[in-house]
Amino acid sequence: MPAEADIRGNLAAVRERVDAACVAAGRAPDEVELLLATKTQPAARIAEAVAAGARLIGENRVQELAEKDEELTALAAGHAFERHFIGHLQSNKVNQVLRYVGCVQSVDGAELAGRLQRRLETLDRTLDVLVQVNTSGEPSKSGASPADAVAVVQQVAAHDRLRVRGLMTVGLQSPDEAAVRASYRALRELRDRAADAVGTGLPVLSMGMSGDLEAAVAEGATLVRIGSAVFGERARTA
């Protein structure tokens, strides 16, 4: 596991990669934000990243959000940061997730949208959301199918407590760069169609990870989700 100095250095190196990818694509570096994917990382290491300037933290499991919350809040006191939910959200975890996050990136259909809406009415608040699309078509991946994505965005946008900000995808895991780029291009094209359909801008495209952020930035990513390039390789769970 990298020590604190490494987290800071790794974060700077990733930011440099993003900036270089923006320049190569003729885009302004400030168009792309970094979100740190912190699954399996202890609160102390997440707090080190926050102290080093990370502003967006993404968790995949509600249980990890809950377990790390108290320590992270204490250790990162004085630094502004926001947590997003980036994993598959089970309906029975909706009430709990809303205690921790300012954005759910993994809304995949009308049922989850309806549950979020009802809970947000009770809490009298709103929530930023992204609609997750399974652009790779791999059955193991969550998200709406590309064929349903525009309709799902319309259904989600019909809920007045949900502010649809854009789309998210995990993308294709493949050494074939052209195929990876095509999956990110597909998300951008769906975003453009969905924005026309709902009549509002959908500025956020959450796509790109440690291994392929350059391809995602070239295809218009505005938020890349980075884990291993900052925290090191995750221990493999059997």
Ligand X SMILES: *Cc1c(COP(=O)(O)O)cnc(C)c1O
Binding site for ligand X (CB under 6 A): 37, 39, 60, 86, 170, 209-211, 225-229
Give the C-alpha distances (Å, rounded to integers) separating 175 from 138, 147, 172, 178, 181.
Answer: 15, 25, 9, 9, 11
Shortest distance in whole angstroms from residue 207 CB to ligand X = 9
- The nearer residue to ligand X, 63 or 200, going by C-beta atoms, is 63
- The nearer residue to ligand X, 117 or 171, going by C-beta atoms, is 171
Enter the tokens of residue 22: 């923006």
- The nearer residue to ligand X, 155 or 210, going by C-beta atoms, is 210
| Side-chain half-sphere exposure of 104, counting CA atoms within 13 A | 32
Residue nearest to ligand X (CB): 227
Q: How many CB atoms lie within 10 A of CB 31?
A: 15
The CA distance from 137 to 144, in Å, is: 10
- The nearer residue to ligand X, 117 or 210, going by C-beta atoms, is 210
Shortest distance in whole angstroms from residue 123 CB to ligand X = 25
Shortest distance in whole angstroms from residue 34 CB to ligand X = 11
The CA distance from 179 to 128, in Å, is: 30
Shortest distance in whole angstroms from residue 40 CB to ligand X = 9
Burial 224-236 (b: 16+ CB within 10 A, else e): bbbbebbbeeeee
Shortest distance in whole angstroms from residue 232 CB to ligand X = 9
- The nearer residue to ligand X, 29 or 211, going by C-beta atoms, is 211
Q: What are the residues whose beta carbons fall under 8 Å from the beta carbon of 142, sequence distance 6 or more? A: 88, 106, 108, 132, 134, 170
Q: Looking at this protein, which amino acid is placed at residue 205?
A: L
Q: Looking at this protein, which amino acid is placed at residue 138?
A: E
Shortest distance in whole angstroms from residue 170 CB to ligand X = 5
- The nearer residue to ligand X, 65 or 161, going by C-beta atoms, is 65
Q: How many CB atoms lie within 10 A of CB 50?
A: 23
